[in-house]
Structure formats: C-alpha cells, structure tokens
Amino acid sequence: MYETIVIGSGPAGLNAALYLKRANKNVIVIEKEYEGTGQIAQSIRVENYLGFQEISGMGLGEYFRQHVLSSGVPILEDEVTEIIHKDVWQVVLASGKIIEAKTLIYAAGAVPRELGISGEKTFQGKGISYCAYCDGSLFKGKDTAVIGGGDTALDDALYLSDLCRKVYLIHRREKFRGNNATVELLKKRENVEFILKTFVQEAYGQKKLEEILLADGRSININGLFVAVGSTPLSDIIKDYVRRDEKGYVIAGEDGITSSAGLFVAGDVRAKKLRQVITAVSDGANAAVSAIQYMKFDKKG
Ligand SMILES: Cc1cc2nc3c(=O)[nH]c(=O)nc-3n(C[C@H](O)[C@H](O)[C@H](O)COP(=O)(O)OP(=O)(O)OC[C@H]3O[C@@H](n4cnc5c(N)ncnc54)[C@H](O)[C@@H]3O)c2cc1C
C-alpha cells in the first residue's frame, strides 16, 4: 500500500509528488497519457513561468517530469477509472489493477472547450488560443477577438485591451452572462468593439490565422482569436466524495482539503480564479503538505 497516490502528471500532480517524496513518503503518480505532462504540453511557447523567459510547453513539462522521476517517484502509465473509499483509498485502473493508499491527491485537470469550427485545429497555437493570460502578450499591438459571454471572456477582453490595438468581443447573445461592471468598463475602452448576436463560423489564414468569418456574413481580419467558452474539469470520478460547483470544479481551499478525509485536490480541477502552471504547481505543494499533515495526525498514518 502507498502512503499517497497522485492522479495526473500535470504540473499540479508532479509538484505534489515531489513534495511528498522529499518528505520521505511512499508515493506513486498515475498518468493516462504516454509520458504526459498535462495541458501545458499543448502550448507552443510559455513566457509566464518564472525562471524561463521562453520555453515550449512540452519542454517545461518534460523538465517537471524528469525532476520527479530523478527524485525516485514512479510514474505509472494507466487510466484511473474508479475510486473507492473503504478503510483506505482504492484506485481502480483501466489495466484491471487496483492499488491502495492512505491518501489521494487528485490532479486530473480540466479540458478547454473548443468551438468546433472549421480551421480551429489548423490554427491552434498559430493564432487561436484558449488562454489570454498565457498568450496575450504574443499579440501586443495587434488585432484580436475574444469569443464568449461569461466572466472569463470579459476579463480576457479587458486584459487584451491593454495590450492589443483592437479587441473584438464576440458573443452569440445580446446580453453577457458575466459581471456587468466589467461590461461597463469595456464599453469605455476605445479599442474594444462588441459584436453581438452572432458567432464565428470559420477561421482562415495562410500559415497563421488571418481572418474569421461570422454567421451574419461579416468577415474580420485578426491576428489572434481567444476562445473563452469555458473548460470542463475532469472531476466525475470523485463526484461522490467531494462538493463541486455548478461547472463541476471541486470546491476546496488552497490547502486542497475536500469534504472526504484523506482526499485532496490540486490544480485546474479545483474551483479557483486563475488556472495557470504557476497556480497548479502551488496547489500541488499545498495539497502535498495537507496530505503529510493528515497522515501525521490520522491514527492509520
Ligand atoms: C493550449 C494551452 C496553453 C496554455 N498555456 C499556458 C501558459 O503559457 N502558461 C501557463 O501558466 N498556463 C498555460 N496553460 C494552462 C496550464 O497548462 C494549466 O493551468 C495547467 O496545466 C494545469 O495543471 P494541472 O496539473 O492542474 O492539470 P493538467 O495539466 O490538465 O494535467 C492533468 C493530468 O491528469 C491526467 N489525467 C486526467 N484524468 C486522468 C485519469 N482518469 N487517470 C490518469 N490520468 C488522468 C491528464 O492526462 C493530465 O496529464 C495553457 C493551457 C492550454 C490548454
């Protein structure tokens, strides 16, 4: 039996494993993707992780993974299909194996929702982004559009309006779901234009994104398209053991403590404001320390 099983080898899970190993805990990481390092592997260029002026997402993730492997933590490639809590935590894997631990750190992340439009896959990382705080600075002085009507879309548009020459905010309805105060702030920005009651149908370009076609027949020349239509947390497997918000994010503080003793969450799967590598790594450290403290005081620990 392990002291801790970490689920997911994204930045949150890997950093949790590193902290646990350094506290001399018997820990294993389970990751479903071959040599997976989470969502960051999809990023062509990361410029906002302290210590690296510029690095590919895959490169950064691989540094994280190698650090954890070299500290002696095993990373098992398998998919967690079920979690059962008896006296201990049982983790059922797709291979049929069942492994047990006193504590679990659940760091399965989230998946950004795509638009499903023609050209989207072609221009991912070449003009189409799902994260304004990650990629906004690549579009300084350029023309961009944000798609969405919630708080993330509004915040993204505000953030980009400080960087970009022009920001189109495209929303399929007449009213935004997000905070009205942000809408009012955006109305005062001269470089922000609202495009309402329509949606993007296609993305075009040669090597990079150059133009989008709207359902109302208009076409707009832009360099960057920021998709802010939400993301899906991968929290279904633990739904019986935790409280979740209406979008499915697990409700827990920075310490990662959930409503089930011995189960901790870290990273993008947790309900929080900013989902980035730096906050995922920080969550991992906090959840590990919570698990270590739990094992110190739990009579089974
Ligand atoms: C395209 C893109 C670009 C980004 N760019 C930046 C950037 O420039 N800077 C920045 O700070 N952030 C960036 N981000 C955000 C950043 O990648 C995430 O905030 C961060 O990766 C979250 O880490 P995590 O460990 O919580 O989850 P994830 O990275 O999502 O990792 C979760 C891991 O769990 C695994 N997993 C899930 N379910 C199971 C299961 N059932 N069994 C086993 N394994 C499982 C997954 O395969 C995955 O490897 C970007 C995100 C995307 C999508």
Residue 225: the pLDDT is 98
Which one of the listed residues 87, 135, 143, 255 is annotated catalytic? 135
Closest C-alpha to 156, from 186, 185, 133: 133
68-125 residue pLDDT tens: 999 999 999 999 999 999 989 999 999 999 999 999 999 999 999 999 999 999 999 9
**301 band by pLDDT with thresholds 50, 70 and 90:** very low
Instruction: Give the Cβ contact number of residue 186 at 10 Å.
Output: 21
Q: Ligand 1, from 34, 40, 68, 99: best to mutate by most atoms within 8 Å of Cβ?
A: 40
Residue 265: the pLDDT is 98
pTM exceeds 0.85, yes or no: yes
Closest C-alpha to 45, from 145, 159, 122, 125: 125
C-alpha 214 to ligand 1 mean position (Å): 30
Q: Ligand 1, from 65, 234, 277: best to mutate by most atoms within 8 Å of Cβ?
A: 277
- Asked if residue 274 has pLDDT above 70, the reply is yes
Residue 207: the pLDDT is 95
- Asked if residue 300 has pLDDT above 70, the reply is no
Instruction: Compute the distance between CA of residue 14 and CA of residue 216 in angstroms, rounded to an integer.
Output: 46
% of the chain at pLDDT higher than 70: 99
% of the chain at pLDDT higher than 90: 88
Q: Which domains does the chain have, with CATH numbers?
A: 2-111+231-297 (3.50.50.60), 114-227 (3.50.50.60)
Instruction: Compute the distance between CA of residue 104 and CA of residue 30 in angstroms, rounded to an integer.
Output: 11
43-79 residue pLDDT tens: 878 889 999 999 999 999 999 999 999 999 999 999 9
30-44 residue pLDDT tens: 999 999 999 998 887
Average pLDDT, the chain: 95
Instruction: Compute the distance between CA of residue 268 and CA of residue 38 in angstroms, rounded to an integer.
Output: 10
Nearest CA to ligand 1 atom 13: 276
Residue 178: the pLDDT is 87
Task: Taking residues 5-14, report their average pLDDT.
Answer: 98
- Asked if residue 284 has pLDDT above 60, the reply is yes
- Asked if residue 283 has pLDDT above 70, the reply is yes
Instruction: Compute the distance between CA of residue 226 and CA of residue 9 in angstroms, rounded to an integer.
Output: 26
- To the query of whether residue 134 is one of the catalytic residues in this protein, the response is yes
- To the query of whether residue 164 is one of the catalytic residues in this protein, the response is no
Residue 122: the pLDDT is 96
- Asked if residue 8 has pLDDT above 90, the reply is yes
C-alpha 40 to ligand 1 mean position (Å): 5
Q: Please spell the DSSP secondary structure of the chain, one letter per residue.
A: -EEEEEE--SHHHHHHHHHHHHTT--EEEEESSTT---GGGG-S-B--STT-SSB-HHHHHHHHHHHHHHTT--EEE--EEEEEESSSEEEEETTS-EEEEEEEEE---EEEPP---BTHHHHBTTTEES-HHHHGGGGTTSEEEEE-SSHHHHHHHHHHHTT-SEEEEEESSSS-SS-HHHHHHHHH-TTEEEEES--EEEEEESSSEEEEEETTS-EEE-SEEEE-S-EEE--GGGTTTS-B-TTS-B---TT-B-SSTTEEE-GGGB--S--SHHHHHHHHHHHHHHHHHHHHHSTT-
Instruction: Compute the distance between CA of residue 91 and CA of residue 107 in angstroms, rounded to an integer.
Output: 14
